[in-house]
Structure 1
Amino acid sequence: MAKIIKLDEYEVVIAQDDHSTVRFPYELLDFTPEVGDLVEVFPDGDSAIIFKVDQPSKKQEDQISINIVNEQTNNQTQYAGYMGGKVVNKWIYFLLAFFLGGFGIHKFYSGFTGKGILYIIFSWTFIPSLIAFCTCIATLLKPADAAGNIIVTA
Structure 2
Amino acid sequence: MISVTCFCQDTKFTGYGIADVNQDSIINLKTIGYSDKQHKIPYSKETVQPIGSVSKTLIGISLMIAKEKGLINLDEDINNYLDFNITNPHLKGANVITLRHLATHTSGIIDNEKIYEESYCFDTIPNTSLKDYLKKHLSSDDNKHLKRVITNQKQEKDIHIPM
Regarding TM over 0.5, the answer is no
User: Larger radius of gyration, structure 1 or 2?
Assistant: 1
- Give the number of the structure whose residues are more often strand, by fraction: 1
TM, length-normalised to structure 2 = 0.18
TM, length-normalised to structure 1 = 0.19
